[in-house]
Amino acid sequence: MQRSTKYVGLDVHQASTVVSVREDSGRVIARSVVPTDQSPLLEFFRGLRGMIHVAFEEGTQAQWLHDLLTPVVARVIVCDRRGERRQGSKGDLADADELSEQLRLGGLRAVYHGDTQGLRLKELTRAYRNIVEDSIRVMLRLKALFRARGIPTPGQGVYQPKQRATWQAKLLDAGARFRAEALWTELDVLRQLHPQAKKAMVAEARRHPGWPALTSMPFLGPVRVALLLATLQTPWRFRTKRNLWAYAGLAVVTRSSADWVIEAGRPVRQRRPPMTRGLNRNHNHVVKEVFKAAATAASARPGPLQQWYEGLVHNGMQEPLARVTLARKMAAIALRLWKKGERFDAVHLTSATR
C-alpha cells in the first residue's frame, strides 16, 4: 500500500468493526471487517502506510477507541450524526463508506474527547447522577403504585420508613404489597449509596485546578462544580463565551432571508433584525441543567446576581427570558474565572462578559 494520505471510516459494533479506506482521489482501496478488540485493530492500522485520518461515530466504545487509536494515527475524529437525513439503503459497509467519504471532504464535525486524566471524575459523576436518577425513578414508581389504586400520596410520607406500615395496609392486593416492599428496599439501598457517591465525586473534583475558581462563584456548589469539571474538562476548548453558550443550550437561534438588496448597483444589507427561534436544541443537557438551576436559585435569593436579574426585569424583560439571560451571564463569568484562575467579584457583572 502506497505512502499517501488515507481516510478511514469505521462502523463500530460490539463484536465487529467494518472498515472503509479511501485515498485522496476518493477511490475506496480497501474494505475489511475487524473484531472490535485492541490487538486486531492496532494490527490493522499499523499495516497502513502514509498519513492516516480516522472517523467513527459517537457511541459506547467511542472513548476507548479514541484513546486506542490516537497514538498510532495522524488524526481521530469522533462525530455525532444523529438527526441527519439519510437516503438510500443502510448497512454497515455503506455507513463505513459514507464516513470515509465525508472525512475526506471535511464534512464531519468532531465531538470533543479529552485525555484520560479526567476519566476518573467522569465515572464518579456518572455514578452519582445514575444514583440520583434511579432514586427519582423509584420514588415516582412508588407514588404511581398508590395513585393507580385511587390512594392519594401527598408530600414525602410514602417514602419514610416509619410510615411504611400504614401505607402498606392501604394496599389490599398481595402483589401490590410485594411490589411496594421491593421498591422501598431499592430506595433504601440507593439512599445509602447517595452520600458515598457524592463524597467520592467531590473529593476527586477538589483535585482539579479549576475547582477554586468555580467554587468562588455564588450558587455553584460542590456538586454543580464537579459536574461542570467532569463534563467540560477544560475551558480552553471554548474560544469565547458564545461557544460555551451553544454547548450549554443557551445560544439564541435566529433565522433570516433576503438579507441583501441592490441599491445604486451595490449590495446593501437590510436593517431588519433576524427572527429569533428560541435556544439551540443540540446541546449538553448536564451543563444546561447546572447553569439553569444555578440561575433559578440566584434569581430567588438576595445577592448581586439577584440585583442584576431584577434590573433586567425592571427594564421590561420578561422573567423567563431574564432567567435565561442570567444563566448566560453566569456561564460567561464561570468561563472567564476558570480561564484566568480568578475568584468571583461582583464587578464581573458589569464587565465585558455581559
88-142 confidence digits (pLDDT tens):
778 899 999 999 999 999 999 888 887 667 889 999 999 999 999 999 999 999 9
DSSP output for 315-345: TT--HHHHHHHHHHHHHHHHHHHHHHT----
- Cβ atoms of 45 and 21 within 8 Å: the answer is no
Closest Cα to residue 168, out of 189, 154, 155, 183? 183
60-77 confidence digits (pLDDT tens):
999 999 999 999 999 999
Question: What CA–CA distance (Å, rounded) separates 12 from 96?
Answer: 9
Q: Where residue 86 falls among pLDDT bands split at 50, 70, 90?
A: confident
Q: CA torsion angle for 132, 133, 135, 139 (degrees, to 10)? A: 140
Buried b (16+ CB within 10 A) or exposed e, 262-277: eeeeeeeeeeeeeeee
Q: Which three cell numbers stand for residue 289?
A: 441543567
Supply the pLDDT for residue 2: 62
Q: Which three cell numbers stand for residue 152?
A: 392519594
Question: What CA–CA distance (Å, rounded) separates 158 from 145?
Answer: 11
pTM for the model stands at: 0.85
Question: What CA–CA distance (Å, rounded) separates 8 from 101?
Answer: 9
Element (H, E) at 35: strand 28-35
